């Protein structure tokens, strides 16, 4: 697992270092608007402080030292202090001049909130539509679900987002939802729950948040639920034609019991298998959704960091993205072992 | 024995699968749409061009549209017509591919040497000449606007909803939307096809080596696969795209380089089950070179899942390109559906429905077509799954 993380960050770091302009290119270019003497001084300060004048592999080694709990303590001027245990750090963002860990702390919960709301929707819809269409195999309902899942799987998120904002959050058409952000400005002064005030009904912080999240969650979850519907249908059908179902039916087990006890449990395995690829895919999807709806999450931060070639921030985001990906693999393995007693990990 | 057997077996399987695929209405619809897009892409300069197709001025005929074809247009025309001529020719696939390649290379060299469209582009002159009555006869393209024609001679052509002059309206910089959409088919088709080809080639080689050699090659390869698999693809793409110059070819290479993991998985799995089969053992015992064992004997038997997932791969490559262009980090010079879609939400909460509807619909239909095709292919290749 650690070699994999090393590989991911090395891949991103060296592609950043090899690119024209190199690390922090756009940021150093901004400096050149100053007069020559000042620009030179600022540039030298940056280069010394972040080690930008060193070769790429030294910079990478320096970053590895920074994030490891054992190593040389970095001094504020860029030199290295004594060797020993230290507090791992993600460094400071070159563009925002703030510690990267602060930025992550601010932006990551928003993305996780989006995911935490969308994933139950995705799985719930996938389950229901998959089971019902597998039960009525070949019927008009099944065909309808089949075609519409393929169609909604093909709808690009960018189109769905633009159309939803354009028609449902627009003064000229239907102004039902807000078009951007996570809160209204006045939500900061609201109480948490909806309640009545002397001025009338107030929707409260929670409801304001939900109201802002409806469109992004729809955008984020329709593709995944279409994919899971198809998967669930295939898996249920495969199990329905297996030997143990024939045996159960032959000995007179009620049909509902066969479906919801025997088949459902076995079909769960397929749904768990894809969890490891659904989570990273939805993280990628949130980059798009956050950009369309201007939600201050990791995706938006990532696009900005990449555009500025903000070394520390890009590496930290890649690290976290990779960690979440690996974490979902582990979650998948654990769930798999829980759902299927035949699976034993050495 | 193997050579003749492979050559007679492979086409029959291909014919069988093609027949079974084409019996599905989804595949037919998908293929129809893709063929339509190919035609639009090939004949784009004759369908949407500010320069007249034929012009009679001061007594002599000329064709500004043909005179100003770019080298790329000439190459596309040559390859297209060669393909049409070769389609039903009774020659082997290998000869056809060789002829195609020869035509491609010779026209590329020829076009770059001899074809020089005028550097200075002033589209207004043709319209002004026509209005002033300087031309006796003129035949215009069905959409008489080039994608980068900003119509500076017309007042107030910016952001017009669809009407009789502009079938799909105009964009923010007064260009005709329909014309841009037609030229964008070129980007979508070429990105899908070439980036998936790159991904398939890398995936087949890496996966094949992993599945054939197992042991430490497999171990190393799997770590490489894990690295590419663990990072959200879009984030990896963002990094690569943002760090390198914005260029169609670099974009294709990057989408290909980040998309090979799935193919490597499939090929590895197939090879693991094939490597102990008798025919592979026999080939190895007969001393057939490794290249031949891997690509001739094993690959042809293990290609099925790769073909199916390549069809879905084209769909996702088109989606990726449009998403990147939408986020503003895609192509800058060429018109792309994603970049057009981005203009739909204007400043101050204005919404231009025609810019949202048509490019979005085009992306959706194209992705849908490739998905339908992939679905039909999968059902045809693996009836068990149905």
| Phi, psi for residue B207 in degrees, rounded to 5 | -65, -40
Q: Can you tell me the distance from the alpha carbon of A293 to that of A180, in angstroms, rounded to the nearest whole number?
A: 5
CA dihedral A45, A46, A51, A57 (to 10 degrees): -150
B329 falls within a domain: yes
Specify the pLDDT at position B144: 87
**Mean pLDDT (whole number) for B218-239:** 78
Domain-located, residue B58: no
What domain range includes position B288?
3-48+175-385
Say whether residue B315 is in contact with chain A using an 8 A CB cutoff.
yes
Chain A residues whose beta carbon lies within 8 Å of the beta carbon of residue B233? 280-281, 284
Nearest to B351 among A158, A172, A234 (CB): A172
Q: Indicate whether B311 belongs to any domain.
A: yes
Q: Is residue B379 one of the residues assigned to a domain?
A: yes
Name the residue facing B345 among A162, A172, A234 (closest C-beta): A162
Determine, for residues B323 and A171 on separate chains, whether the beta-carbon distance falls below 8 Å: no
CA atoms A221, A222, A226, A227: torsion sign: negative
Q: In this structure, is residue B210 part of a structural domain?
A: yes
Quote the CA–CA distance of A84 and A236 in Å, as a whole number.
Answer: 56
Residue A29's pLDDT is: 64
| pLDDT tens-place string over residues B333-353 | 778 898 899 888 877 778 888
Q: Residue B42 pLDDT more than 60?
A: yes
Q: Do A150 and B368 touch (CB under 8 A)?
A: yes
pLDDT at B2 over 60: no
Give domain status of residue B304, yes or no.
yes
Please, which residues have CB within 8 angstroms of residue A215's CB and are 6 or more apart in sequence? Answer: A161, A164, A165, A168, A169, A177, A293
- The closest of A287, A285, A267 to A119, measured between CA atoms, is A285
CB contact residues (below 8 A), chain B span 150-209, against chain A: none
Q: Which residues of A touch B347 (CB under 8 A)?
A: none
Kindly state whether residue B141 falls inside one of the protein's structural domains: no
- DSSP symbol at B56: E
Chain B residues in contact with A19 (beta carbon < 8 A): 243-244
Is B233 in contact with A322 (Cβ distance < 8 A)? no
A172 CB neighbours in chain B (<8 A) are 350-351
Strand order in the sheet with B135-139: B60-62, B54-57, B135-139
Q: In B, which residues are within 8 Å of A291 by CB distance?
A: 327
The answer to whether the Cβ–Cβ distance between B368 and A159 falls below 8 Å is no
- How distant, in Å, are the alpha carbons of A39, A42, A45, A328, B135 from that of A35? 6, 11, 15, 50, 57
Smallest Cα distance from A284 to chain B, Å: 5
CATH assignment of the domain containing B211: 1.10.3720.10
CB of B257 less than 8 A from some CB of A: no
User: How confident is the model over A81-105, as pLDDT tens digits?
Assistant: 777 777 777 877 877 778 888 888 8
Does residue B231 surpass a pLDDT of 70? no
Under DSSP, is residue A250 helix (H, G, I), strand (E, B) or coil?
helix
**Residue B86, C-beta contacts closer than 8 angstroms, at least 6 positions apart:** B96, B99, B100
Share of chain B above pLDDT 70, in %: 94
Model confidence, pTM? 0.86
Task: Please state, in angstroms and rounded to a whole number, the distance separating the CA atoms of residues A111 and A198.
Answer: 36
CB B313 within 8 Å of CB B194: no
Residues 213 through 242 of chain B touching chain A, CB cutoff 8 Å: 223-224, 226-227, 229-236, 238-240, 242
Nearest chain A Cα distance for residue B174, angstroms: 21
Asked whether the predicted pLDDT for residue B383 surpasses 60, the reply is no
Centroid of chain to Cα A145: 27
Task: Place B4 in a pLDDT band, splitting at 50, 70 and 90.
Answer: very low
Q: Is residue B12 part of a domain?
A: yes
Residues of B in contact with A314 (CB under 8 A): 239
- Rounded mean pLDDT, B294-321: 85
Q: Say what the pLDDT of residue B13 is.
A: 67
User: Is residue B229 a contact partner of residue B261, using CB atoms and an 8 Å limit?
Assistant: yes
Residues of chain A with pLDDT under 50: none
Rounded to the nearest integer, the mean pLDDT of chain B is 84
B245 to chain A: closest CA residue: A20
Structure token pair of residue A106: 């601010």
Residue in A150, A234, A291 closest to B372 by CB: A150
B240 with A15: Cβ contact below 8 A: yes
Q: Which residues of B touch A155 (CB under 8 A)?
A: 364
Encoding tokens for residue B172? Answer: 């923010």
- Number of domains, chain B: 1
Q: What is the pLDDT of residues B85-127, one digit of tens each?
A: 988 888 888 888 899 999 999 999 998 888 887 777 788 888 8
Grade residue B5 by pLDDT with cuts at 50, 70 and 90. Answer: very low
């Amino acid at each position: 697992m650690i070699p994999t993380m090393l590989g991911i960050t090395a891949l991103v770091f060296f592609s950043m270092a090899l690119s024209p302009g190199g690390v922090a290119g756009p940021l150093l270019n901004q400096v050149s608007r100053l007069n020559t003497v000042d620009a030179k001084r600022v540039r030298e300060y940056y280069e010394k402080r972040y080690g930008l004048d060193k070769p790429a592999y030294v910079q990478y080694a320096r970053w590895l030292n920074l994030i490891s709990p054992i190593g040389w303590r970095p001094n504020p001027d860029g030199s290295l202090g004594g060797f020993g245990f230290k507090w791992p750090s993600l460094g400071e963002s070159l563009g925002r001049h703030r510690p990267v860990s602060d930025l992550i702390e601010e932006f990551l919960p928003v993305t996780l909130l989006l995911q935490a709301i969308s994933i139950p929707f995705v799985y719930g819809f996938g389950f229901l539509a998959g089971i019902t269409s597998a039960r009525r195999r070949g019927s008009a309902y099944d065909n309808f679900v089949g075609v519409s899942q393929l169609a909604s799987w093909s709808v690009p998120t960018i189109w769905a987002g633009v159309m939803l904002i354009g028609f449902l959050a627009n003064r000229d058409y239907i102004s039902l939802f807000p078009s951007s952000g996570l809160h209204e400005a006045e939500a900061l002064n609201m109480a948490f729950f909806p309640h009545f005030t002397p001025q009338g009904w107030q929707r409260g912080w929670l409801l304001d948040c939900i109201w802002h999240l409806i469109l992004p969650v729809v955008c984020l979850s329709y593709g995944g639920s279409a994919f899971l519907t198809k998967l669930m249908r295939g898996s249920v059908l495969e199990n329905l034609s297996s030997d143990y179902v024939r045996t159960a039916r032959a000995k007179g087990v009620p049909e509902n019991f066969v479906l919801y006890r025997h088949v459902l449990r076995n079909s769960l395995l397929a749904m768990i298998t894809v969890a490891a690829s659904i989570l990273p895919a939805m993280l990628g999807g949130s980059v798009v959704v956050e950009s369309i709806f201007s939600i201050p999450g990791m995706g938006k931060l990532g696009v900005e960091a990449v555009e500025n070639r903000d070394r520390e921030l890009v590496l930290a985001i890649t690290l976290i993205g990779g960690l979440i990906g690996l974490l979902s693999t582990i979650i998948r393995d654990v769930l798999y072992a829980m759902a299927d007693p035949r699976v034993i990990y050495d | 024995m193997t050579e003749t057997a492979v050559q007679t077996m492979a086409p029959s399987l291909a014919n069988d699968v093609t027949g079974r695929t084409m019996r599905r209405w989804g595949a037919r619809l998908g293929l129809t749409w893709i063929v339509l897009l190919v035609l639009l892409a090939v004949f784009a300069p004759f369908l949407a061009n500010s320069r007249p197709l034929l012009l009679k001025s001061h007594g002599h005929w000329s064709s500004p549209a043909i005179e100003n074809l770019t080298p790329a247009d000439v190459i596309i025309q040559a390859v297209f017509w060669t393909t049409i001529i070769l389609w039903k020719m009774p020659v082997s696939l290998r000869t056809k591919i060789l002829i195609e390649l020869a035509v491609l290379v010779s026209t590329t060299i020829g076009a770059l040497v001899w074809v020089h469209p005028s550097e200075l582009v002033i589209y207004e002159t043709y319209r002004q000449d026509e209005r002033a009555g300087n031309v006796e006869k003129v035949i215009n393209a069905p959409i008489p606007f080039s994608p980068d024609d900003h119509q500076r001679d017309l007042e107030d052509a910016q952001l017009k909803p669809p009407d009789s002059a502009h079938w799909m309206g105009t964009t923010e910089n007064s260009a005709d939307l329909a014309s841009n959409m037609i030229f964008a088919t070129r980007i979508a088709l070429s990105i899908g096809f070439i980036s998936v080809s790159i991904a398939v080639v890398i995936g087949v080689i890496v996966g094949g080596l992993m599945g054939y050699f197992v042991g430490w090659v497999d171990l190393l390869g799997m770590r490489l696969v894990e690295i590419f698999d663990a990072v959200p693809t879009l984030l990896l793409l963002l990094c690569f795209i943002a760090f390198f110059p914005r260029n169609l070819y670099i974009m294709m290479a990057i989408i290909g380089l980040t998309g090979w993991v799935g193919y490597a998985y499939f090929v590895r799995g197939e090879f693991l089950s094939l490597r102990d089969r008798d025919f592979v053992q026999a080939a190895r015992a007969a001393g057939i070179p490794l290249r031949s064992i891997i690509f001739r004997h094993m690959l042809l038997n293990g290609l099925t899942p790769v073909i199916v997932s390549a069809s879905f791969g084209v769909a996702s490559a088109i989606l990726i390109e449009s998403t990147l262009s939408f986020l503003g980090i895609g192509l800058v010079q060429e018109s792309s559906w994603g970049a057009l879609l981005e203009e739909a939400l204007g400043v101050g909460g204005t919404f231009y429905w025609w810019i949202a509807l048509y490019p979005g619909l085009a992306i959706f239909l194209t992705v849908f077509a490739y998905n339908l095709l992939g679905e039909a292919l999968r059902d045809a290749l693996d009836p068990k799954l149905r």
